[in-house]
Amino acid sequence: MCREYEHFDILEVAVKCGIKLYPNKGSKVEFKARCPFCGDSSYHLGINRQKERFNCFRCGESGNSVSLYAKIYGVSNKEAFDSLKENEDFQPKQIYVPKMQTETPIRSLADRHDVYYDFLNLLRLNEHHRDGLEGRGLSVNHMFQFMYRSVPMDGVFRREVLDKLAKKHDLIGIPGFYVDVCGRVQMYLNKYGGMFVPICDSQGYIQGLQIRLDIPENSKEDKFRWFSSRYFPFGAGAKPWVHIVGDTTAKEAVLTEGAMKADITSVLSDGKLFIAIPGVNAIEYLPEIVRSLGVKKFYEMMDMDKRWNPNVRRAMIKLHDMLDDIGVEYEECLWNPNYKGIDDYFYAKSKYMKSELLVA
């Protein structure tokens, strides 16, 4: 007697798991959906009913209907198989089915800072991250001062950290955290891990976290992700927070893209004021910050290799206009294009001459 292969309709499984499908136009085989594993909001998850496979083009997660169910409900493949087989209509009543459409309001800055501060203190900085930062000119003291930590990829350690954190804090509405179908707190996780970079305001409060990916996902330029849990049950989305580092009483500041770059370059230039926007198009919060700090002049230092990209150019013009409107003088700073980022340039410079800021 031979056992027949149990076939489950992967589309049915996906729907019952609460996965949001893209309105389908005709095909009965191929479907697009929001990936539940990577905070995807643009339907990167492909579902093929004929092959009984799913595959996310954003985070690379893939599998069949059994492993889809297992990953979402946090059970083994065998348990997933059994519950799919047992229940023709596998009783989603028994388990909490996430409501993807309701968004949880984001928590206050004070709450976010408290949670992120304790969270980072529970984490470690792996050796390869330490080495990488050292290679970019940071001392171990600086790494700890900036609270850089490695994303916990080890499941047991991660569970420990999340349980400790959940005991002390309510994590609902804190970007990056959510509640799974079994009622346990989980965190947003990308596939290959990376390093947490805190995004701080002028007082040093942690507004949110970014992850510097160990392996960029789409292009080499795509190295940073927000620690965000929008579309996850009880999660919240990150906002385009601006990072501030260095002497906040200074009336001149360097405007750059990316918090880690700003941290490193500020250190290498003896604590100059750096204001880092998350991207050239993410300048929503900038005017308010410029006003509150009373900055009168910006030295703008975006990455050299982006300057020739027409989309970036357009965004830069918008940025300059905005600074103009609020009466801030700006100067575009150019440096040797062999150095991609301003931090690379400063590091090379500080190595060969005694660090001297090229601005002013």
Choices 31-39, 165-173, 253-261, 296-304 (CB under 5 A): range interacting with Zn ion? 31-39
User: Site for Zn ion (CB under 5 A): which residue of 8, 16, 18, 37?
Assistant: 37
User: In one letter, which amino acid is 89?
Assistant: D
Nearer to Zn ion, 98 or 137 (CB): 98
Closest distance between Zn ion and the C-beta of residue 238, in Å? 17
Residues 179-238 that bind Zn ion (CB under 5 A): none
DSSP per-residue codes, 39-98: T--S--EEEETTTTEEEETTT--EEEHHHHHHHHHT--HHHHHHHHHH-TT--TTSSPPP
What is the CB-side half-sphere exposure of residue 181 using CA atoms within 13 A? Answer: 20
Closest distance between Zn ion and the C-beta of residue 67, in Å? 14
Binding mask 39-78 for Zn ion (x = CB under 5 A): -x---------------x-xx-------------------
Nearer to Zn ion, 35 or 238 (CB): 35
Distance (Å, whole) CA 58 – CA 117 = 29
Are residues 177 and 187 in contact, defined by beta-carbon separation less than 8 angstroms?
yes
Q: Which of 56, 59, 91 is nearest to 73 (CA)?
A: 91
**How many residues in the shown chain lie near Zn ion by CB under 5 A?**
7
Closest distance between Zn ion and the C-beta of residue 30, in Å? 17
Closest distance between Zn ion and the C-beta of residue 126, in Å? 24
Nearer to Zn ion, 79 or 217 (CB): 217
Closest distance between Zn ion and the C-beta of residue 118, in Å? 28
Closest distance between Zn ion and the C-beta of residue 39, in Å? 8
Strands 252-257 and 297-300: parallel
Sign of torsion over alpha carbons 158, 161, 165, 168 = positive
Closest distance between Zn ion and the C-beta of residue 54, in Å? 10
Residues 5-24 that bind Zn ion (CB under 5 A): none
Choices 2-10, 28-36, 265-273, 335-343 (CB under 5 A): range interacting with Zn ion? 28-36
User: Site for Zn ion (CB under 5 A): which residue of 13, 17, 35, 267?
Assistant: 35
Nearer to Zn ion, 38 or 255 (CB): 38
Closest distance between Zn ion and the C-beta of residue 191, in Å? 8
Side by side, the strands of the sheet bearing 329-332 are 243-245, 274-277, 252-257, 297-300, 329-332
Choices 36-44, 46-54, 69-77, 177-185 (CB under 5 A): range interacting with Zn ion? 36-44
Closest distance between Zn ion and the C-beta of residue 60, in Å? 7
Both structure tokens of 18: 């609460």
Nearer to Zn ion, 34 or 272 (CB): 34
Nearer to Zn ion, 56 or 185 (CB): 56
Distance (Å, whole) CA 229 – CA 235 = 5
Both structure tokens of 179: 């509640």
Choices 37-45, 99-107, 255-263, 305-313 (CB under 5 A): range interacting with Zn ion? 37-45
Q: What is residue 217's DSSP assignment?
A: S
User: Site for Zn ion (CB under 5 A): which residue of 38, 161, 181, 244?
Assistant: 38
Q: Which of 71, 19, 26, 25 is nearest to 47 (CA)?
A: 19
Strands (E), 190-328: 194-200, 206-213, 224-226, 243-245, 252-257, 274-277, 297-300
Nearer to Zn ion, 39 or 278 (CB): 39
Strands 62-64 and 185-187: unpaired
Residues that bind Zn ion in the complex, under the rule CB under 5 A: 35, 37-38, 40, 56, 58-59
